[in-house]
Chain A
């Protein structure tokens, strides 16, 4: 395999694996920027994956080519609603946010597998018939080198992921809403004094993270696994958290980190067929995202520090 062929194989596959991570990691950025730690992203992805596959299987004949999009929309809505549990517990009931997130993970998996067994009477669903399709972007795909590398056979969801990342950057850094969001995550009391409704902002942020987490799950299931079982989402949610941290709580940073982790995932799964890479034991590539995140946090790769108020419930009048 020539170097060029290698690139043509690795890069599109890396983007495929990165896409769900991008959505979910940006969801995490919203939540953490508002001061709510969301360890429950894994559970939200699981719920999204289940809803996506369920809608796809049941309504493929009704919606035809639009099926995958309807399924994703459903996953966004259900993910948003599901994340309300985390919002209520950690914002209104002042629960420990990490504990509540752990409960979301347990609950997401349990509810999804419970429903699969109830509806299909077996541990995993059938394969979906309509998956997210690929297409070539006119004109751009004809550019030498970059065309086949980036613009031929792109998944529509990958384009959406880039759009979401840029949109998130704009919302968080260029709008009044984003300013308030960051304010309640850094110094909620100051924000409150300025008339920002801290808890409302946090509710909105957590629901956005749920919606994007659900979307990430639905995209993963409909483009990579193509069915749902208890092992469909195995760590992608936590890897998204890693991408968020490695991207320093910034949407574009999270996008870059997710793409990088996508390369690592591709190499660990398909590396045995690639020269040079096949000599590296897969385990190194598997642990790479997590180890790098630890290094980033330790300050070896630029300092990554969380929003100041993340993890603490806001209690009015308490210093």
Chain B
């Protein structure tokens, strides 16, 4: 589904991603872990199409398409979803209006008729129940005055509505109390299907108590220096990142 080969990316001339390789297949859940500043969020931004980053080398192929050729909105319509680490507040734009516009732009791109108001409302109610989001939240402006937990729940709600093939959750767990964390993890688990994939970017092992990954990767200094199964996350929790750094062959 997603194939990243020898990717290098920079911002303002500073190289952040330094020859990264990653393969994600349908039905898989990948966790990318690593210390602060290792390039986790940059990787998420590059996949989602944020123009502030320059891709200097390498290829990113998604469902057989050259992803780097596509603008951010086309990537979204092709089924990529980025859960933001810091969801943006947009005063005056209601979540319902925003999501209806997003869904209908996607449907137009796919050659489908737009959802009517009633159809959209029905879909929204269904997804609200699914991800356990409070009803009143969707009438408010996007993220405006939301608590940290509400913002992250709202990301999961949007993900549920947009039904992505590939979801990248960028530190969705940071700053959450245990209840909000459970809501987020529950949402991800319920949305899991054999034909979609999820990449969870996280600093802590905590989220992985609720979302079981098939693969765990350690990102350090712009490269994946170690990959393993869910036990790797437990090992990292216990020993920290230092031992992986030492173990990594120089120049990888």
- A, B in one complex: no
